[in-house]
Structure 1
Amino acid sequence: MTDLTTLLYTAEHEWVAVDGDIATIGITDHAAEQLGDVVYVDMPAVGSSVTANDVMGEIESTKSVSELYAPVSGEVVEVNSDADADPAMVGDDPFGTGWLVRVRVSGEVSGLLDRDAYVALTGAGA
């Protein structure tokens, strides 16, 4: 399992794991819990550009449809095709096999929350 304390978070409930210039992005456990059963995920195409804080896709559950926001700017270099084929894994294992996209980051990674700040914001368990 991913060490949640090393991740960065957004107030819109995405997480980011930065490794060099590649950022892996997914939804948080809090978001997964609020969504319930995930039935569809619309992710940006490989090669497309995303801009920090802009909508990059959406996630649909049996309860609602929510927008996915890019926590960083850059080029999408990989999409989790397993999550595309089986969206339930996004809710079942949001910090593991349910990751969404990998982005080659352009510019600074800033304005994101650490785990403690995210927990304080959401009241979610640590």
Structure 2
Amino acid sequence: MVVGYFGYQEWTKHKASDKLQGYSLSTVDQHPIPREIAFSLWQQKAVDFCGRSNADDVALTKHTAAQCRARVLERHTACERKLGQNYATQLSINHEVRRLGKEYFACALPKPICNGVEIESMEMAEQKCK
């Protein structure tokens, strides 16, 4: 969750993987985007984020860049199914797309590992990381 949130914060600043089939996350207010395309764009951003992993990320999540990318690709369908029901089929508000990205990163990216347990929340970290 922590990695997902900070990963989302970092990648919303970049436009590298912001376009697909003529759609863009950065212009959703002017050009609405189908939900499925938004998920694909966020998947691209998450995979790109994995490629920028450093030693601290690997130490925290126990996932190399390649493992992180594989995790995102593996979790994509489940995350889309889980999160998709909370969004309209056509997204037209920038805030909605950014919220979807934050939730997608939290769902798809590897989470920190503490004492062999994947940490889902700060409360869980306080319990497991003593």
- Classify the TM-score, shorter chain: 0.3 to 0.5
More helix by share: 2
* TM-score (structure 2 length as normaliser): 0.32
* TM-score (structure 1 length as normaliser): 0.33
Query: Which structure: larger Rg?
Result: 2
More strand by share: 1
